[in-house]
Amino acid sequence: MGEEPEKKRSEVMEALLLIGHGSRAEQANEGMFRIAGMIRKAGGFTIVECGFLQLCPPTIEDAVERCIAQGAERVLMVPYFLHTGIHIREDLPSVFVELKKRFPHVEMAMGTELGNDPLLAQVVMNRVEEMRNSPSKEQ
């Protein structure tokens, strides 16, 4: 009887963590930060962070720490990757296991990569329409 009731899922402070590969070229990483900003602005998450697997900061671990410092009790991680390569199959699961060991007091979940989502096919078709409707951009 002396135990506190568990919080309902809707009462737990959630953070969204976008996980990218990372690049030494800073401008290559900016796109994910822009997406994070769009998600934050759209609502649903007060805490939205980005972390990178390699080559640049912040690391995934640093990003999780930032989420926790902002009050996150649950961190939902979405790999911002298109394909199921070695990073998705091996590297991220390994990082995830280590994060759960390091932060046992925080609930964590890893989603799937962006992959073959039909919305991505629509993005490709949007780009095709942009090319058809704009002056030629030869490179």
Q: Which helix (H) or strand (E) holds 78?
A: strand 74-79
What is the chain's length? 139
DSSP letter string over 104-117? TTSEEEE---STT-
Structure tokens at 96: 């995830």
Q: How far apart are CA 88 and CA 106, in angstroms?
A: 22
Reply yes or no on whether 21 is catalytic.
yes
Active-site entry in 21, 83, 87, 105: 21
Type of residue found at 77: M
Q: Which residue has the tokens 């902002």?
A: 70
Residue type (1 letter), 37: G
Q: Which residues are catalytic?
A: 21
